[in-house]
Structure 1
Amino acid sequence: MTSLAALPARAGRRCHNVINPMHSTVYFSPDATREFAGVGIEDRRAAYFAGRAAAMGAVGPGAVAATFYNFKYELVARHLPAVWEIASPQVVLAARTRAADTTLRRLLGDEAVASDEMAEAARLALRAAEACTRHARPLYAAHADLPVPDEPHLAYWHAATLLREHRGDGHLTALLEADLDPLEALVSHTATGKGMTPKWILAMRGWTQEEWDVAVARLTGRGLLATDGELTPAGVELRKDIEDRTDRLDAAPYAHLGAAGVERLTELATGFIATALGAGAFPADLIGKG
């Protein structure tokens, strides 16, 4: 394994930041909406919970609230376990794979999907994922038990999923250490300008405006948010510490791939996600302070 010191500073984070969005395209894809509706799941939030949780089996709201972290439990319980009466985890996983296929083909084009660069990106991302670890990482571990698809673009999407969930599982440890509850984590992330806008959080995560305002007040009381909603110096430092801690917990895949491999994977992934963004992969108002 390559030494961690051999990698440029934050190289793993930069690589993750261009790989992760490719996985996330499915959550905003009309192709996914169509595929899930085709198996009877018409509510988009039910589809999200089922699609991301299906690798764990027919789990209930407790497991999903724990592993997804920042969704309100009552919202999750509104859809789980009832969704498994509509479609089994195996049916959901098949629908999600079909959605990933059509989404990537639509956003990137058939030429990119069939390119040598896509095959290379898949090999590199899967190589990085070899160093991911299962212990204390439930979402990664569940997805790691799934077979790797044969087609390179789906293998790349699968590897992006593994790397995303591996980092995400570690990120929850950092949030717990920072003493941020689910909504405080969302509010403070939004305040960085890099998280989802309040509009999307309230629409997708199940929280109310009143609950959001109370979380803002708690963070203000801790000296992490100023009265104008901006992060204080202490808040900026806390969010930095969270990301640095997440980097350390997620270092192994990128150290395993090595500096040259990380650089090349970052280059390839940047090109793919730039094309996807240009094709309208995400809503224009998704990210920011609102």
Structure 2
Amino acid sequence: MEPTARRLYRLVEPIHLVTYFAAEPTEALMALGHRNYWDGYFAGRAAPLGRAPAEVVHSIFYNFAAGEVSRHIPRVWETATPEEALAARQRGSVAALRRILDDLADAPGLARAAELATKAATSAPTEGRVMYAALRALPVPEEPVARLWHAATLLREHRGDGHVAALVAEGIGGTEAHVLHALSQGIPAEKFGRVHHLPAARLAEVVAGMRARGLIDSSGRLSDAGRDRKERIESLTDDLAAPTYDSLGPSELDQLVADLEPVAAALDAAGSR
């Protein structure tokens, strides 16, 4: 049986993904004066941390290659403040959700889901959860679509904080995490979107190191040990995400799932774009 945290992740993730996939959030951030998508990405996602230096953001985000964060932070704060970035990100994300969901955006089920998801998303301990704690310090929107998006963002970053902890515990570095995921999906590392842009020599070095540790076999596929490591990481991530739903009773969890299913289905069909 699929763990509750994994099941809810599959339903909540499409809500937050509009932030990165849909045009409206990028356009809202670009309207502040940012140069490109990645300026907006780092400004919007790092904004809850305030004007944290690149070294801190790199550590918290974990899976970006050396130097990628510093190409954007702190320069993005010369363009717009963290507060302006937060407002633009939310405004664009809500606009995207309303466009994709159409009538579902004003349905009673979405409002119920927003309340239950917010109850879950604001109930977990913040200790050791830097991104989650930063988001918890922000006000919760009142409008249902914005409220649901904010709750989904909290739940995603809470899970992300736990995923980083699981990766660290299993000795998997940031770039290695992308390679592990790519190979688990049957995608060669050099074809995977998050690392294909890296210098070929750097990516080859990472793959060689994973092969030397027995995580990748001689054919370039995940070894049995690599698959076991991936499964342990995902299982621990689920375990660490589970406390977010402890505040909901069985009937509330069932209601949340029922209300999120049509929302997630619509967003999945659109690719959250």
Per-residue deviation, residues 59-82 of structure 1 (Å, max 9, x unmatched)? 221111111110123011011101
Q: Please say if 1:65 is aligned against 2:58.
A: yes
Q: In the alignment, which residue of structure 2 is the partner of 1:130?
A: 122
Structure 1 stretches of 4+ moved >4 Å: 194-197
Deviation at 1:18, TM superposition (A): 1.8
Kindly indicate whether residue 251 of structure 2 is the aligned counterpart of residue 260 of structure 1. yes
* 2:20 paired with 1:31: no
2:206 counterpart of 1:215: yes
Q: Which of 212, 219, 231 in structure 1 is aligned with 2:222?
A: 231
State the Cα distance separating 1:42 from its structure 2 match. 2.6
C-alpha separation between the residues in 2 aligned to 1:131 and 1:213? 43
- Letter of the aligned partner of 1:86 in structure 2? T
- Residue by residue over 1:93-116, the C-alpha shift from the partner in whole angstroms, topping out at 9 and shown as x without a partner, is 11011111111011111x111110
Amino acid of the residue matched to residue 257 of structure 2?
T
Q: Which residue does 2:92 correspond to in 1?
A: 99
Take 2:253 and 2:200, find their aligned partners in 1: how far apart are those partners? Answer: 41
TM-score, with structure 1 as normaliser = 0.88
Task: Return the alpha-carbon distance in structure 1 between the equivalents of residues 205 and 256 of structure 2.
Answer: 42
**CA separation in 2, counterparts of 1:242 and 1:199?**
20
Matched with 1:182 is: 174
User: Quick one: which amino acid aligns to residue 43 of structure 1?
Assistant: N
Unpaired runs of at least 5, structure 2: none
SS at match of 1:200: coil
Contact kept in structure 2, 1:202 and 1:209, CA below 8 Å: no
Name 1:4's counterpart in structure 2. none
How far 1:88 moved relative to its partner? 0.3
Q: How many Å separate the matches in 1 of 2:193 and 2:256?
A: 30
Tell me the residue number matched to 1:146: 138
Contact 1:46 1:83 in 2 (8 A): yes
Counterpart of 1:37 in structure 2: which amino acid? M
Which segment is superposed worse, 238-247 or 9-18? 9-18
CA shift, 1:39, in A, is 0.6
Q: How many correspondences in the alignment?
A: 272
Query: Equivalents in 1 of 2:122, 2:27: separation in Å?
Result: 33
The alpha-carbon distance between structure 1 residues 147 and 179, as it changes in their structure 2 partners (threshold 3 A), is same
Distance 1:212 1:21, change over 3 A: farther
State the one-letter code of the partner of 2:233: I
What are the Cα deviations for residues 253-274 of structure 1, in whole angstroms up to 9, with x where unaligned?
1222133333332333232122
Which runs of 5 or more residues in structure 1 are unaligned?
1-7, 283-290
1:158 alignment counterpart = 150
Aligned equivalents of 1:252, 1:10: Cα separation in 2? 12
Residues 1:243 and 2:243 are matched in the alignment: no
| Matched letter for residue 83 of structure 2 | Q
Match of 2:48 among 55, 58, 61: 55
What does residue 75 of structure 1 align with? 68
Counterpart amino acid of residue 217 in structure 1: A
Provide the alpha-carbon RMSD of the alignment: 1.9
Going from structure 1 to structure 2, the CA distance change for 1:263 and 1:209 (only over 3 Å counts) comes to farther
C-alpha distance in 2 between matches for 1:149 and 1:263: 24
Q: 2:111 aligns with which of 110, 119, 126?
A: 119
The answer to whether the 8 A contact 2:14-2:268 is kept is no
* CA–CA distance in structure 2, aligned partners of residues 162 and 186 of structure 1: 22
* Alpha-carbon separation, structure 2, partners of 1:212 and 1:182: 12
Report if the CA contact (8 A) 2:22-2:96 is conserved: yes
Q: Secondary structure at the match of 1:134?
A: coil
Look up the match of 2:268: 277
1:171 aligns with 2:150: no
Aligned to 1:40: 33
User: TM-score, normalising length from structure 2?
Assistant: 0.93
CA distance in 2, matches of 1:224, 1:196: 14
